[in-house]
Amino acid sequence: MDFSATRRRPPLFLDLTPLIDVVFLLLIFFMVSTTFVTDATGMRVDLPRSSSQEAIPEGEDLTLQLEADGTVTLEGRPLSAAQLSAELRKAAEKDPSTLVVLKADAELTHGRVVEVMDLAREIGLTSFAIATESAGAAPAPSGPVELPSWLKRPE
């Protein structure tokens, strides 16, 4: 047995391929298993239809719902003109590039949408997006949904 110092060891080699494979598998697993948050505020807004599909990235945006009667709601609570102005000011002070997403009912007059946009523009918010539904989407039901007879409880 030769224990002399003249014997050379082969250099150590760390193979990173399995580590990268595991990281990619974890990334794919979390992307597939993540549940996407849906907007379930309980308001019934009949959005206009659009055939073009452009997704707006999630972020620090401000989503305003404009109902058919002209009421403006934010996160499910109706806002007066003064409250709307205050909320828009808060958003503008926090980040002037905040995206204002308008979910206007299809029955709402164009003038009311323009009023809200003008108010936001005066305050300093200049990025807007109009939310629509895809052209193939079913319209939102206008009233209570009637169950089919075979699903109704016998009386």
Give the CATH number, domain containing residue 85: 3.30.420.270
Asked whether residue 44 is domain-assigned, the answer is no
One-letter amino acid at 125 equals L
Asked whether residue 152 is domain-assigned, the answer is no
Q: Decide if pLDDT at 101 tops 70.
A: yes
pLDDT band at 31; cut points 50, 70, 90: confident
pLDDT score for 42 = 47
Give dist(CA 69, CA 80) in Å, integer: 13
Asked whether residue 28 is domain-assigned, the answer is no
Distances in whole angstroms, Cα of residue 121 to Cα of each of 70, 88, 105: 19, 10, 21
Q: Which domain holds residue 125?
A: 55-134
Domain count, the chain: 1
pTM score, whole prediction = 0.51
pLDDT score for 26 = 94
Q: Decide if pLDDT at 121 tops 80.
A: yes
- Between 134 and 34, residue with greater pLDDT: 34
One-letter amino acid at 62 equals L
Asked whether residue 127 is domain-assigned, the answer is yes
